[in-house]
Structure formats: C-alpha cells, structure tokens
Amino acid sequence: MLKKISKIPFSGTPEQEEQLRACINESKHDKHLLMTVMQKAQDIYGYLPFEVQKMIAEGMDVPLEKVYGVSTFYAQFALSPKGKYNISVCLGTACYVKGSQQVLDKICEILGIEPGECTMDGKFSIEECRCVGACGLAPVFTVNEDVYGRVKPEEVAGILAKYN
Amino acid sequence: MEMVNIKINGTPLSVPNGISILEAARYAGIEIPTLCYLKDINEIGACRICVVEVKGARSLVTACVYPVNEGMEVFTNTEKVRKSRRHTLELVLSNHRKECLSCVRSGNCELQKLCKDYGVADADYFKGAMPAFTFDDSAAHMIRDNSKCVLCRRCVAACNEQGLGIIGANARGFDTQISCAFEKNLADVSCVSCGQCIVHCPTGALKEKDDTDKVIAAINDPEKFVVVQTAPSIRVTLGECFGNPVGTNVEGKMVAALRRLGFDKVFDTDFAADLTILEESNELLERITKGGTLPMITSCSPGWIKYCEYYYPDQLDHLSTCKSPQQMFGATVKTWYAKKMGIENIVVVSIMPCTAKKFEVGRDDQNAAGVADVDIALTTRELGRLIDGAGIRFNDLEDEKFDELLGESTGAAVIFGTTGGVMEAALRTAVEKLTGETLAALEFTDVRGLEGVKEASYEVAGLTVKVAIASGLKNAKIIMDKVRAGEADYQFIEIMCCPGGCINGGGQPVQPAVEHNFGNLAAKRAAALYAQDEAMPLRKSHDSPAVKAAYEEFFGEPGSHTAHEVLHTSYVARPMYK
C-alpha cells in the first residue's frame, strides 16, 4: 500500500519539538539509531509529517529521502495523523466475507477520505485492520474503543453522526 | 596477498582470497553479466542476473557479492544459470514499458542487451499489472520515467556517492519506486543537476531533456546566426557515440560534423576557458593583495555552484564571481563578437559534458547583452544523436579546424575538462604573472590525477601559494566543511561537481556498468586531454591570441568594468526543499 501524505497543516507545539530535539541529541552520534528516533518522534507527534522528518534528517545528518524511505517501508510509521475518532475497519477473512469492504467504502464515501488519511478538520481518520477477534460479530469496525458489529453499509451514516 | 585455487568453468585459476566470483571470473576472461552491480558503490546482489552455479552450493549464488574460497568450482554458463537469468529478465519485463523502438537508450540499453544475449523471445511472458509509475519532468535538465525503471538502485548509489542522497527507494514490494522525499518533484528538492544518475542508469528510465529539436529549428531559420561552442572534454568523449574506444580524441571530426550540421560558426569553449583563467587569476590576485575573501573557489562547474547554493549558502563569498566558460563564451559572442562582426540575432548553442549546463543557461544574471548568454545547451549524447540523425558518417569525416578567432585556444584550456585542470591552467598564468618570468616546466603534476581531494603548495616570488582540488561533491563537502570551520588555509580551491571532473560528467556518453567498474573510464578520457595539451603550440591561457584580441579591442584589462559587466555573475542561497 502506498502511504498517503497528510495535507493537514502541521500543528506541532514547542514542547513537542523540545522533546524531539532532546531525543535526537541523544542519538545523533550513531546514524544506525535513525529508526529509534523515528519511533520516538511518532510517539511524540502521532505521525511523521514533513516538518518532523526534516527535523530528524537535519538532526541526524542524513538525507531527508533516507528518513522518508524508512517511513514508507515500515508499516509502523504513519504519514497522516490519527483523528479525534479513529475508525478501524476489519478486513479479516470473516468480516470481508460478510461485506466489510462495502462498509469501508461507505465510510470513505461519507468522510471523503481514504484509508490511511485523516479528515481536514482532524475529526476522523480511517485505517484498515486484520481481525479484532470478534468474528462472530462480522462485519466489524471500531471507533476508538467502541465496537460496532453486524453493520450494514446503510447504518454507517447514523453511527458516524454520534461522534462530534 | 593470500591466493586461493579455484576453477571457473573447469579452468584452474589462482586468485586473491576473498574477491567476488564476478571479479575472479575476469581472470578467466569471463564477464559475468550484471544489472545492479556497481563496484564499491552498489554491491547489493539484488538483480539476480549475475547468478552462477557453485559446486556443493544448494542454490545459485550471486557472483557480484559471493567471495571465492579455496577449492571453489564455479560454472557461469550452465543451462540452469541461463534459464534463471532468462526467467529474471522475463520478470523484469513484466512491468517494463517496452518502448524500445524509439527509446533514447535503444542500442545501448543494458536490459535490451541481456534480453538479446539470453534469448528472451517473449517480452510479455509474464505480462502483469503496471503500477502508477512516477513520471517527473519538472527539472530543467532531466526526465525520470519510472515505467522503464528496473529498481537496480544504481542511480541511488550514484546520488549517494555524490553525498546528496536526494533519491531513494520508497514504499515497498510492488509499490516500490525510486523517487524523492515526500514524492516531491526533482525541481523542488536539492538536486544539483549533475546527471550522475543518468550515466549510471542501465535503461532509458533516466535521460537528459532533449533539446536537439530546438537546435535544428534554429539552424533552419534563415534569420538566425547559429554559433556552436564545444566544451574541452567532449572532443575526447564524443567518439564513443560512434564506437571509438574510450579516450579517442575526435576534435577534427567533431568540428567537421558540426559544420555539416549547418552551424554558421564552429567555435570552441576553450577560448572562454582561457578567458576564464585571465579573469579568475586576476580576481585571485586582487583578493590576495586587497584582503578579499579567501580561499577563492572556482565557479566553472554549475553542479558545484548549485550544490554550494543549497548546502553552503553561508559560504557563497568564497566563489569566484567569474561566469563559467560556457557562459563567458556566450556573453562574449553576444557582445564583442556581435558588434565586431555586425551580426544580430545570434543563437549560441553549446555542447557540454554536463546536464547542469541546461540549468545554468536559465540562471539569473547570465545575460550580458540583455538576452540569455547561451540559448541551448546540449549534452555530448545529444550531439551524438544529432549527428546520427543527420546521416553524417562521423568516422569517415576528414579532420577540420575550428573557425577563426573564437575557435582559438591553448593547452591550458583543454585540460579544464579534468579534475585539477583548471588549477593547473591557473597556476601556469598566475606564476608567470607573479614572477614576471617564463615558466621552465609547464606541468604541475601534483594537481593531476583522479584522487578525490588533492593539495599542493608552491613558493612563488616569495609568496606561498597553497591550493586544494576536489572532484565529486562528497569530496567537495570535505573541503567545504574545512572552509566553513575557518580551517582551510588555501588561497585557491578548484571544485568540480562530477567525480574526475567533466570527462566523467553527467552529459557524457553512457557506458555500460562494466566500463565504470573495471574500465578506467575517467583515466583514459583524462589522458587524452593531457596528450592534446602537450601537443599544442600554445599552452598558457595568457598566450591565446584570441583572448589578447578580446582584451585589446573590448574588455581592456582583466577585471575591468566591461569585464565585470559581461563576464562576472552572482549567486543566490537556495532552499533545500520547496
């Protein structure tokens, strides 16, 4: 899957930057620690936008492309922030057979974004997942900690309307 | 050196322990085919073309990274090996845009040659899905067309070797593509336009922006007076486009071919190289005597200039304000020459070893006569195609001479094409100026050779002149970090963007990887330039009659007001990303 690069304006705080710089200073003596720094950066910011990757590249003295290459190779790194409500749609075998793709398509259609993206207002983000361990409720999706089972596409709008 | 006994295809050999099977096979006169391998800079064993059978090994091994050991028996051309290579090629072709009839690399494409060698009869054997490939024509100098990329990563290695690393493999699996950070366009990142990626690409995925049509249109326009200039190094590389061995000097045939293409005047950038030396040595002596910024650094190489503007924007004062020879030439033609000859509507075309020259012609503050100093910059490769397209039998041409005046030059100018050449040319003039005596020996051998960083120091008229030379931007960085730290006690530094200088430029004929790996490409090309220098009657820039005439009739003195207006320029700090 190609990762979507967020178009949401970067809104990092000075505190976050201070945390990241401290972490870079601890690791910049060894370029092999790039991934460790990236993981910590993701812990701090929730994702790795251009501004954050640039700070890492300059701090670690590696080309920005190197940081970006790593961030697009490993599934653990995100280029888009998570929304206030993160929707996770199960595409595991049972849910898929029960029509979770149609549910996902409906969510995407309503929110106007694709999996891996976040709405411009920062409210919703969508991700695909593989099995939440509730196959009996297939098809399943979650909104943060809330679980919705046996969902039909036409019910999606009503569910999303609950979140503000 | 510890030697081991091995057998390659049954031939017993004694080879150094630990070298790769690929290198060992060369001792047996066998070239194992490769696609991704570049000696020292891309030894990744990724493409699987170089696979061979090793007795006792469970599977085929990649010869480029597999070391030899005592008693090893290798088979490089068995049915199993050939079948595997063919299979790999069929897979590579499964998502390759096969535009081979008109592809710019048709005829010297390494993928095409392998397919021919291994009898890949059905190019669509594994016809598969085509990902959404990146096509990037944003840069002034080149095009990246990933639909012809084989993911060998040779361009990435070349870019890393320049210390830039602005391209790399992004995403993973079937989605993997070579691109810039955040999928930015090449024009929006700190690409210096050196073109080293292009000369290392095995296929047509990377190519210069072709400007040959513009040249043909200008030549066919009766209103236009089209002048061509040829860079120092291209006379020793153009021949490669027509099957001549690396290092063949084809200056005479090149001039003849340019005349047959219909240029109104065939001139030599070497004239402007001599002019550069006078302006630059004057600037250096002024900086030394008047306390200007030192060390002063050469400004002939537009890739280097762009690099400095991106990576050392705080050090731009060190750059000589002299335009590059290409631009000095254009500026002189459109001012002095145009006036002297009473010609208007001049188009200046340059033939350059360089893709960054395509960027340079569009730079600001390069328009002495109110219009661009140089209109069109072609690479050596484009000239090769222009000659082929015109049906000119290049190798059968009789040698001809450059046109008078701006075709005149010295040996000092010819060696501009290789690392250390500008320095040597400058020393020949500066030393004579400082001492007022004629130099006994013209060769400054300390500054010659292909090492990435060279230093030398000379006692001249009671003055210690300390110089440094770097080629390849990785080496430029070593020098520039010293300059930035205030630890560089040189007066004069020569920096060329490409490793080895212009002879190895990004616009030069593309040679297969084996020439880069084992062929001494740069050394052979450089040797041809030094041979020409040695054979020339005039070997010091200040002896050039054309340069003398230019100063007498137009510029006055080096560094004069007119010279500054026409021959000097300025630089700008550039942001790394847009």
Chain A interface includes B577 (CB < 8 A): yes
What is the pLDDT averaged over residues B238-244? 97
Instruction: Give the architecture-level CATH label for domain B3-77.
Output: Roll (3.10)
Domain spanning A85-160 has what CATH number? 3.40.30.10
Q: Report the amino acid identity of residue B455.
A: E
- Give the pLDDT confidence of A128-162 residue by residue, as tens digits: 998 889 999 999 999 999 999 999 999 999 999 99
Phi/psi of residue B68, nearest 5 degrees: -80, 155
The total of other beta-carbon atoms located within 10 Å of residue B195's CB is 30
CATH 3.30.300.130 for domain B213-567: no
Query: Shortest Cα distance from A137 to chain B (angstroms)?
Result: 33
Looking at the predicted structure, is the pLDDT value of residue A2 above 80? no
* pLDDT tier at B204, thresholds 50, 70, 90: very high
What's CA B194's distance to the chain center, in Å? Answer: 7
What is the average per-residue pLDDT within B245-256?
Answer: 98
- Decide if A64 and B577 are in contact by the 8 Å CB cutoff: yes
Question: What is the DSSP pairing of strand B346-352 with strand B296-297?
Answer: unpaired
Show Cβ contacts of residue B362 under 8 Å, excluding neighbours closer than 6 positions.
B140, B372
Shortest distance between the Cα of B170 and any Cα of chain A, in A, equals: 5
Q: Which residues of B touch A66 (CB under 8 A)?
A: 165, 168
Interchain pair B165, A65: CB under 8 A:
yes
pLDDT at B377 over 80: yes
H or E element at residue B8: strand B3-8
User: Band of the pLDDT at B316, cuts 50, 70, 90?
Assistant: very high
Q: Is the CB of B182 less than 8 angstroms away from the CB of A63?
A: no
Mutation for A interface: B170, B185, B481, most A CBs within 10 A: B170
CA dihedral A133, A138, A142, A146 (to 10 degrees): -90
The minimum CA-CA distance between B253 and chain A, rounded to whole Å, is: 44
Give me the pLDDT at residue A67, please: 98
- CB atoms B168 and A62 under 8 Å: no
Give the residue, A4 or B24, on which the prediction is more confident.
B24
- Strand, helix or coil at B356? helix
Percent of chain B with pLDDT over 70: 100
DSSP B86: H
Cα separation of A162 and A148, whole Å?
A: 13
Q: Whole-angstrom Cα distance, residue B240 to residue B507?
A: 13
Question: How many angstroms away from the CA of B163 is the closest CA of chain A?
Answer: 9
d(CA B413, CA B544): 10
The whole-angstrom distance between residue B490's C-alpha and the CA centroid of its chain comes to 26
Q: Which pair of tokens denotes residue B319?
A: 């750059």
Q: A64-74, pLDDT tens digit by residue?
A: 999 999 999 99
Answer yes or no: are the C-beta atoms of A138 and A87 closer than 8 Å.
no
Out of 3.20.20.60, 3.60.15.10, 1.20.120.1200, 3.30.70.20, which CATH number does the structure's domain B93-208 have? Answer: 3.30.70.20
pLDDT tier for residue B109 given thresholds of 50, 70 and 90: very high
Reported confidence tier of residue A1, pLDDT bands at 50, 70, 90: low
Are B166 and A54 inside 8 Å of each other by CB?
no
Mean predicted confidence (pLDDT) in A15-20: 97
* B390 neighbors B262 (Cβ within 8 angstroms): no
Chains A & B: contacts with CB separation below 8 Å: 47
CB atoms within 10 A of CB B481: 12
Would you say A3 and A76 are in contact if contact means Cβ atoms under 8 Å apart?
Answer: no
Instruction: Identify the residue whose tokens are 């090149």.
Output: B254
Query: Can you give the pLDDT at residue B463?
Result: 87
Give the contacts of B71 (CB within 8 A, at least 6 positions apart): B4, B5, B6
Q: B81 with B75: CB under 8 angstroms?
A: yes
The CATH 3.10.20.740 domain(s) of chain B lie at 3-77
pTM for this structure? 0.94
pLDDT average, residue stretch B500-524: 96
Best mutation target, A5, A67, A72, to test chain B (most B CBs within 10 A): A72
Residue B329: its H or E element: helix B325-332
**Region(s) of chain B under CATH 3.40.50.1780:** 213-567
The residue among B182, B307, B311 with the most chain A CBs within 10 A of its CB, best to mutate, is: B182
Instruction: For residues B171 and B153, give the distance between their C-alpha atoms in angstroms, rounded to a whole number.
Output: 14
pLDDT single digits (tens) B319-372 = 999 999 999 999 999 999 999 999 999 999 999 999 999 999 999 999 999 999
Give the C-alpha separation, B433 to B497, whole Å: 29
* Secondary structure of B503-545 as H, E, C letters: HHCCCCCCCCHHHHHHCCHHHHHHHHHHHHHHHCCCCCHHHCH
Asked if B575 reaches chain A (Cβ–Cβ under 8 Å), the answer is no
Residue B128: predicted pLDDT: 85
Task: Please indicate if any CB of chain A lies within 8 Å of the CB of B182.
Answer: yes
B407 SS3 class: coil
Residue in chain B lying closest to A79 (CA): B182
Q: Are A81 and A122 in contact (CB under 8 A)?
A: yes
Residue limits of CATH 3.30.70.20 in chain B: 93-208
Phi and psi, residue B235, nearest 5°:
-65, -20
Angle of helix B421-435 relative to helix B269-290, nearest 10 degrees, comes to 50
Q: Nearest-CA distance from B169 to chain A in Å? A: 6
Polymer length in residues for chain B:
578
Q: Which of B3, B31, B8 is nearest to B18 (CA)?
A: B3
Task: State how far the Cα of B324 lies from the Cα of B566, in Å rounded to an integer.
Answer: 12
Query: Is residue A58 predicted with pLDDT exceeding 90?
Result: yes
Percent of chain B with pLDDT over 90: 96
* Contact at CB, A63 and B183, closer than 8 angstroms: no
Contact A2 B172 (CB under 8 A): no
Chain A partners of B182 at a C-beta cutoff of 8 Å?
Answer: 5, 50, 53, 64, 68
What is the SS3 assignment for B134? Answer: coil
Domain boundaries, chain A: 14-73, 85-160
DSSP state of B23: H
Q: Indicate the DSSP class of residue B576.
A: S
N- to C-terminal Cα separation, chain B? 52
Q: Do B168 and A72 touch (CB under 8 A)?
A: no
pLDDT for A3? 84
In tens, the pLDDT along B57-82 reads 999 999 999 999 999 999 999 999 99
Q: Which of B189-203, B211-225, B450-464 has the lowest mean pLDDT?
A: B450-464
Q: What is the DSSP string of A5-33?
A: PP-SPP---HHHHHHHHHHHHHHTT-GGG
Residue A161 forms contact with B (CB below 8 Å): no
Q: What is the mean pLDDT of chain B?
A: 96
ipTM: 0.93
Residue A107 distance to chain B (closest CA, Å): 25
Residues 6+ apart with CB under 8 A from B476: B163, B304, B307, B470, B495, B497
pLDDT at A162: 94
Provide DSSP, B262-310.
Answer: T-SEEEEHHHHHHHHHHHHHHHHHHHHHHT--SSEE----HHHHHHHHH
User: Residues of B with CB below 8 A from A76's CB?
Assistant: none
| Number of alpha carbons in the 13 Å side-chain half-sphere of residue B110 | 24
pLDDT of residue B440: 87
Whether B168 contacts chain A with CB within 8 A: yes
Q: Mean pLDDT across the stretch B14-42?
A: 96
Each residue's pLDDT tens digit, A94-122: 999 999 999 999 999 999 999 999 999 99
Given a contact cutoff of 8 angstroms between Cβ atoms, the answer to whether A63 and A72 are in contact is no
pLDDT category of residue B132 using cuts at 50, 70 and 90: confident
Pairing between β-strand B225-230 and β-strand B206-208 as defined by DSSP bridges: unpaired
pLDDT band of B264, cuts 50, 70, 90: very high
- pLDDT score at B252: 98
Q: Which residues in chain A touch residue B166, judged by CB atoms under 8 angstroms apart?
A: 63, 65
Strand order across the A141-143 sheet: A124-129, A85-90, A141-143, A146-148
Mapping DSSP onto H, E and C, the string for B204-258 reads CCEEECCCHHHHHHHHCCCCCEEEEEECHHHHHCHHHHHCCCCCCCCHHHHHHHH
pLDDT exceeds 90 at position B131? no
Scan residues 101-140 of A and list those with Cβ closer than 8 Å to B.
none
Inform me whether the C-beta atom of residue B175 falls under 8 Å from chain A C-beta atoms: yes
Give the residue carrying structure tokens 């033609």: B333
